[in-house]
Amino acid sequence: MEDTINRIAIHLRPKEKFLEWARTLDGDQEFDGMDLEGFCNTYLLDEAMDSGRVAIRKHLAKYWKRIAIEEFSAWWQGEEDWPVLKTIKDFEEFFIWGYSEIVCDLGKIRLEREGGDDDL
């Protein structure tokens, strides 16, 4: 059996509303050639107490603001230009998310963190 990590993975893809926002920042940006269906960022969260989409969404409610900041800042540094999101529902207008409750580490190289403590 493979080593599992005591985390759940949230997979995030931009929705059209995110792309519309990004286009307002840089009119030259073209998304036609990008593989947005395959594009996905993954965030590891502490394990949830319960399983299933409803339970994971409640768990995601603790983290969505941090995730949104990561996503918007990766695209544009000017916070004043970021969309104002007040609820997880607002977050879901910009991103589609999925999840994995089992995260297996198949790698042989030691895990490292960027920008933080690298002891895992």
Return the HEC string of 103-120. Answer: EEECCCCCCCCCCCCCCC
Would 111 be classed as within a structural domain? no
Q: What is the pTM of this model?
A: 0.84
| pLDDT at res. 37 | 63
Would 115 be classed as within a structural domain? no
Q: In sequence order, what are the residues at sequence separation of 6 or more whose Cβ sits closer than 8 angstroms to the Cβ of residue 23?
A: 29, 31
pLDDT one-digit tens code per residue, 10-41: 999 999 999 889 888 865 656 555 656 667 99
Would 60 be classed as within a structural domain? yes
* CB 97, CB 12: distance < 8 Å: yes
Would 114 be classed as within a structural domain? no
Type of residue at 53: R
- Its domain, for residue 59, covers 3-105
Domains in the chain, number:
1
Radius of gyration of the chain (CA): 16
Would 120 be classed as within a structural domain? no
Would 79 be classed as within a structural domain? yes
Would 117 be classed as within a structural domain? no
Residue 102: both structure tokens together: 């089992």
